[in-house]
């Protein structure tokens, strides 16, 4: 029986790796994404342009402009000479943020009155704008405290910020663990969803059904190749993260791989389910895509889950990716103990049982 299963697995792997183009398309995209994604997919604000209209000319505004140009967020400070130019800089996206210092800014500051500057931000990029504004506010605050200190007045209170697990808020530490989950999602779904549809389209599915393999064995035989492909891809990402991006692996590798297995099982069941409903590869691929897209977007990777409306958060419980990302981040960068991750592990087990038994039921029906 094991031997039968083995031949089925070998056959499935051959179908995937038979030609060069197919092999390349399983590896090259992974390497490409691991090389590109962490650099590109950042919500950080750096090397941006800040336009400034200085109607004041006093010492305080001059000092502030100097400090803006020193900040990592703004590699370029663009002086403009009129309100119209200031507006145009934002309109044409030449600058992310434009600041106007009114004529009496420095005088107000010197007299201890509130000195108010205005900022115009590009609403087409309001997230970056909010972050840039945060930097500007901190620069203003730092200068104010220094000025008070030079007059012998200590600030009443101060805030010390510590970013745990990622002291410099490096986006790479957020992206690489997420990428482990995203890439395994895509490959598991595509490999399983297309496997049955391909056989059906080429007419070999009937041959498989009349062979002495039981539905359970067909499912196992189609799951193992996906498991191999997805685990290899996941391992490539983890290794690249540790070796290339220098993210120290903090937690337990066995815990990560155990959960990865569970995660791939939950998606394989789903992929096989989709595959058995679809009659062509085109349908199967599009079905897999139609699931993977929303699953990735609602995984908490692009934006936090708690920002979603309640009903969507509840629905998202059935999204295995959402749980797996927490586990990968937990093991990779947080050294989270098993107990802390259990609330995310048991949903994956529940989803695996549901999808696998549904696939088994449908395959059995096709046989009978």
Partner 1 sequence: MRSILSFRRLLALCRKETLQIFRDPSSNIIAFALPVVMLFIFGYGINLDSSALRIGLVLEDSGPEARNFAETLHGSPFLRVSTSREREPMADALTAGTIRGFVVIPSDFSDRLKRPGETAPLLVVTDGAEPNTANFVENYVRASWDVWQRHRAAERGEPPRPGLQIEPRYWFNPSAESRNYLVPGSITLIMTVIGALLTSLVIAREWERGTMEALLASPMSLPELLLSKFIPYYALGIISLFLCVAVAVFMLGVPFRGSLVMLWLAGSLFLGCALGLGLLLSTVTRNQFNAAMAALNAAFLPAVILSGFIYEIRSMPAIVQGITYLVPARYFVTAMQTIFQAGDLWPVLSKSMAFLLAASGVFIALTSLKTRRRMD
In the set 41, 255, 349, 354, which binds partner 1 (CB under 8 A)? 41
Phi then psi dihedrals of residue 225, to 5 deg: -60, -40
If the CB atoms of residues 336 and 356 are measured against partner 1, the closer one turns out to be 336
If the CB atoms of residues 298 and 359 are measured against partner 1, the closer one turns out to be 298
Cα 329 from Cα 345, distance rounded (Å): 13
Contact by Cβ (8 Å): 183, 30: yes
In the set 81, 82, 130, 357, which binds partner 1 (CB under 8 A)? 130
In the set 4, 62, 67, 334, which binds partner 1 (CB under 8 A)? 334
Cα 227 from Cα 220, distance rounded (Å): 10
Q: How far is the CB of 4 from partner 1 (least distance, A)?
A: 26
* Residue 137 CB coordination number (10 Å): 11
In the set 17, 312, 353, 367, which binds partner 1 (CB under 8 A)? 312
Residues within window 71-110 making contact with partner 1, judged by CB under 8 A: 90-93, 96, 99, 109
In the set 162, 212, 254, 368, which binds partner 1 (CB under 8 A)? 162
Nearest Cα residue to 220 out of 76, 6, 14, 40: 6
219 binds partner 1 (CB under 8 A): no
Residues within window 182-211 making contact with partner 1, judged by CB under 8 A: 186, 190, 194, 198
341 binds partner 1 (CB under 8 A): yes
Binding region for partner 1 (CB under 8 A) out of 35-43, 234-242, 256-264, 354-362: 35-43
If the CB atoms of residues 176 and 219 are measured against partner 1, the closer one turns out to be 176
In this structure, the chain runs to a length of 368
Contact by Cβ (8 Å): 55, 264: no
- HEC string of 175-232 equals HHHHHHHHHHHHHHHHHHHHHHHHHHHHCCHHHHHHCCCCHHHHHHHHHHHHHHHHHH
Q: How far is the CB of 164 from partner 1 (least distance, A)?
A: 5
Contact by Cβ (8 Å): 83, 52: no
Q: How far is the CB of 253 from partner 1 (least distance, A)?
A: 18
In the set 200, 222, 322, 329, which binds partner 1 (CB under 8 A)? 329
326 binds partner 1 (CB under 8 A): yes
47 binds partner 1 (CB under 8 A): yes
Helix/strand/coil for 57: coil
């Amino acid at each position: 029986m094991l031997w039968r299963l083995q031949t089925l697995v070998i056959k499935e792997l051959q179908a995937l790796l038979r030609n060069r183009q197919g092999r390349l398309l399983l590896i090259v995209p992974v390497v490409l994404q691991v090389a590109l994604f962490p650099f590109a997919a950042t919500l950080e604000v750096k090397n941006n342009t800040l336009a400034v209209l200085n109607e004041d000319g006093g010492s305080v505004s001059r000092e502030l402009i100097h400090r803006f140009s020193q900040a990592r967020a703004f590699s370029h400070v663009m002086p403009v000479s009129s309100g119209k130019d200031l507006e145009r800089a934002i309109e044409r996206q030449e600058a992310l943020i434009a600041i106007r210092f009114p004529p009496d800014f420095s005088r107000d500051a010197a007299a201890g009155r509130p000195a108010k500057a205005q900022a115009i931000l590009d609403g087409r990029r309001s997230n970056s704008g909010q972050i840039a504004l945060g930097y500007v506010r901190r620069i203003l605050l730092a200068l104010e405290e220094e000025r008070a200190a030079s007059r012998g007045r200590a600030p009443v209170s101060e805030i010390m910020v510590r970013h745990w697990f990622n002291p410099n808020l490096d986006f790479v530490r957020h992206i690489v663990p997420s990428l482990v989950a995203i890439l395994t999602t895509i490959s598991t779904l595509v490999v399983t969803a297309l496997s049955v549809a391909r056989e059906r389209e080429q007419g070999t599915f009937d041959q498989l059904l009349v062979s002495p393999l039981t539905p359970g064995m067909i499912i196992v035989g189609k799951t193992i190749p996906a498991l191999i492909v997805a685990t290899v891809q996941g391992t490539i990402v983890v290794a690249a993260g540790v070796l290339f991006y220098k993210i120290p692996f903090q937690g337990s590798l066995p815990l990560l791989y155990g959960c990865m297995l569970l995660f791939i099982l939950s998606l394989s069941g789903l992929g096989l389910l989709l595959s058995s409903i679809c009659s062509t590869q085109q349908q199967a691929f599009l079905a897999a895509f139609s699931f993977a897209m929303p699953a990735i977007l609602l995984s908490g990777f692009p934006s936090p889950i708690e920002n979603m409306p309640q009903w969507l958060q509840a629905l998202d419980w059935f999204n295995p990716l959402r749980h797996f990302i927490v586990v990968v981040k937990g093991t990779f960068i947080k050294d989270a103990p098993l107990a802390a991750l259990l609330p995310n592990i048991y949903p994956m087990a529940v989803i695996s049982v549901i999808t696998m038994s549904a696939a088994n039921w449908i395959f059995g029906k096709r046989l009978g």
